[in-house]
Structure 1
Amino acid sequence: MADKTLVCKDCEKEFVFTEGEQAFYKEKGFENEPTRCADCRRARKQQNNNNRGFRR
């Protein structure tokens, strides 16, 4: 398994999906590669956490 260069679907920047990350995904049974870079994943997670306080 080699590192893969992927493109973030939010910011369209390239990011590396490392061998270690690929092994982790396989170990956890994830079938899809990540579609967002680490920065966009972090921002999206923060946004989702902020929205939880405003449920009706």
Structure 2
Amino acid sequence: MVAAYAVGFLMFLGLRHWQAGLPWPEAAQDAAVFALIPTVGGLVFRRAFRIGERREDHHRG
């Protein structure tokens, strides 16, 4: 999860700095928020997928 956040942070940092023209400190703040959203979403999706697998295994057994 930390690696996914780090990759997202670096990607959004570059986008916010070079495309939007924000100074580095502002770009870093934006990137921190923008990277957190998909990371949390991925974590929720992964947890929901695991719960679904457990229910399916329980019904088979």
Q: TM-score, normalised by structure 1?
A: 0.40
Q: Which has the larger radius of gyration?
A: 2
The structure whose RCO (Cα within 8 Å, separation 6+) is larger is: 2
Q: TM-score, normalised by structure 2?
A: 0.37
Q: Which has the higher helix share?
A: 2
Q: Which has the higher strand share?
A: 1
